[in-house]
Amino acid sequence: MDAFDFSPLFRSTIGFDRLARLLDSATRVDQQALSYPPYNIEKTGDDSYRLTMAVAGFSRDELDLTQHENSLIVTGRAKKEEDEERYLHRGIARRAFERRFSLADHIKVVGASLENGMLHVELVREVPEALKPRSIPIGVEPRREPKVIEGKAA
């Protein structure tokens, strides 16, 4: 069995179609596409993360990071070198790539750096104040006396 059938999920839920699409796309992953470039995802705090990609041979101007809605897209396009024929063997891969990462709600990219062939992308979860849980105090409501209108209680 290669694929899961998510149609029962669509019939009984509302608003979870993005989650079902993510699950569906995760089951149809091309394993060869996942191998280049290698990467790590680490949790650096309660609401902070770091994505580290091995991009040996790429310079800053050959890499592009784009955050669009709930996706982070990392693209690398190596420029052609004029002295290409001087290489007898080229084992450091500089092939073009595009890697997409699905981000949870309220995850934002706050910075990126390139050092020693490693691209570090810093991410943080910033939940808006209106969406954070808030405590509601329970008070004592004063006792209300019934209003009297023309001799009748309201």
Q: How many domains are there within the chain?
A: 2
Do 107 and 73 share a structural domain?
A: yes
Domain contains 138: no
Do 92 and 22 share a structural domain?
A: no
Do 72 and 9 share a structural domain?
A: no
Cβ within 8 Å of residue 5, ≥6 positions away: none
d(CA 61, CA 79): 9
Domain contains 149: no
Domain contains 141: no
Domain contains 17: yes
CATH number at 121 reads: 2.60.40.790
Q: What is the pLDDT of residue 30?
A: 54
Do 63 and 43 share a structural domain?
A: yes
Q: Give the tens place of pLDDT for each residue, 61-109.
A: 999 999 988 889 999 998 887 766 787 887 877 889 999 998 888 899 9
Domain contains 136: no
Least confident of 7-11, 46-50, 117-121: 7-11
Specify the pTM.
0.66
d(CA 103, CA 73): 10
Do 86 and 16 share a structural domain?
A: no
Do 46 and 105 share a structural domain?
A: yes
Instruction: Residue 10: give the domain boundaries.
Output: 1-30
Do 83 and 17 share a structural domain?
A: no
**Residue 86 CA: distances (Å) to CA of 57, 94, 138:** 16, 16, 78
Q: Give the tens place of pLDDT for each residue, 108-121.
A: 999 999 999 999 99
d(CA 95, CA 35): 12
Q: Give the tens place of pLDDT for each residue, 129-154.
A: 887 788 888 887 777 777 777 765 55
Amino acid in the structure at residue 121: V
Do 41 and 56 share a structural domain?
A: yes
Q: Give the tens place of pLDDT for each residue, 87-96.
A: 788 787 788 9
- Residue 18's closest CA among 74, 71, 58? 71
Do 15 and 66 share a structural domain?
A: no
d(CA 146, CA 88): 97
Q: What is the pLDDT of residue 6?
A: 64
DSSP string, 126-143: ---GGGS-------PPPP
Do 102 and 86 share a structural domain?
A: yes
pLDDT band, residue 29 (cuts 50/70/90): low
